[in-house]
Amino acid sequence: MNALLSSAERIKKGYERFPYPGVDGAALISRGGSMPPLPWMLGIGRPGQVPPSRILVAGCGTGVEAFILSQHWPAAEIVAIDFSPRSIAVARRLARTLGAAERKGRGVGQPVRRTAARRLGAVRRITFSVADLTDSALVEKIGGDFDLITCHGVLSCLPDPGRALRVLAKALKAGGALYLGVNGAGHPATALRPWLSRFGVDVLEMKDERRLRELLGLWDALYDDDLGEHATMPASYLASDVCGAHFNNWTLGAWRAEARRAGWEVVGTAVLPPALRLIMEGGREGALYPAGIGELAERLDQVRPAGFHRMMLRRVASVKTGIPEVQMRGARGEGLRWTGLYRVTFLAVARGGAVKVRLVAASLGVRFEGVLTSAEAAALPSWLKIGLVSGAGMKIWVRNEAARRRMWLWKGLGVVAVATADLPAEGESAAAGKRRPRGPGAKRESPRAKNAVASWTSPVD
């Protein structure tokens, strides 16, 4: 226990000295931060639900992530916490700077399509507080019922990440989701830290920045990766991602196991769609069927360990596995949701009335083509319009092995996601039992029309 406390204190000391991700908030905001696309977070984590009204940024640092989220969801209440008093002080100062800039009508790192008044109101709806993610009384202190929790680059540095995951589980609202960004086994620090130690560098704390940068320059010349030049990284990055008291550079399998012990399950990873698309060449994905999303992502990470994992998680109680007929019970909220990440184009009619379609997800960098039966092609526009297929409507999509394999593949690619059963479907009226489409739309003259386009506009666009 003393070792854990000592490690935690050293971690806190490091962030007090070098607030992360830095103090130049305007520049960091303009670069968009390090989170995955927000439409992907909602489409996979909260499929079909309205934009989040209450968000927790768990480990906010100097506030950049909170400000970016407020740009996209200006009506949301955002609670941003960090255990570093200095980081929170920087975040509050930046909030005042952003507010002053908006009052003058010029904006700082904000999209021009938002009005200054809405942006100012969004900044005012952020509450920055000093708090500890591992505090069992955290919910009593900051409240709960969060629709979305984001935790980026935090748990990798905690001696007991499972404890933080259990605390966050208590803060989540039914039907909510957690975005988790953590170090992977392929993180450069895994090999870099022992290498630096050979040169006498104390990797537990960044003491000699000049000497460190000299050695990182040598490392950059010898080591080829896609993470950029380490020698040119800001001091806040070097102090947290290269030097530091504790690192959990784990495989996705290890993180998934830790999350499951805390009551979570992985429902998507940012690298899964492009990785799955890559192995679709030549039909190689068949060897992975019928692995669930978490297991599928875990198997791919074993082949090529990621340096950083970007995952969406839901509480185990709200996750259903597989593509099963058991989801055809017709209860409200069950079934498959169209995530809104893909644009669908109907290309041509093949033999027997089958229709060739193209699906493109620009935010994921994924595109692929497939063939639907005439019945599936006729049913797809309705799915796109309503956003949900369940009950009797599910039968056409899981009627045989080929159809079930397609739905499995579409889940892995992020085309569809399992609907949650603990929240009403978006736009549904509990009294009337009717669904009102929000955002999605499809136009198509007939199942056999060429070049007809069906698209869904994401609610975060």
- State pLDDT tens for residues 66-82: 999 998 999 999 999 99
In 10-76, at which residue ranges do the beta strands (DSSP E only) sit? 54-58
Q: What is the pLDDT of residues 230-276, one digit of tens each?
A: 888 877 777 777 877 788 999 999 999 999 999 999 999 999 999 99
Q: Domain extents for the chain?
A: 2-186+246-318, 189-242, 325-456
Give 134-143's long-range contacts (Cβ < 8 A, gap of 24+).
134/158, 134/160, 134/163, 134/164, 134/167, 135/167, 136/167, 138/81, 138/167, 138/170, 138/171, 139/167, 139/170, 139/171, 142/56, 142/79, 142/81, 142/171, 143/79
Q: Is the pTM of this model over 0.95?
A: no
Amino acid 77: pLDDT = 96
Q: Which residue did the predictor score with more confidence, 427 or 195?
A: 195
Q: Which fold has domain 2-186+246-318?
A: Rossmann fold (3.40.50)
Q: At what angle do helices 209-222 and 189-197 cross, to 10 degrees?
A: 120
Per-residue pLDDT tens over the stretch 188-232 = 888 888 999 999 988 877 778 889 899 999 998 887 766 668 888
The reported pLDDT for the residue numbered 314 is 95
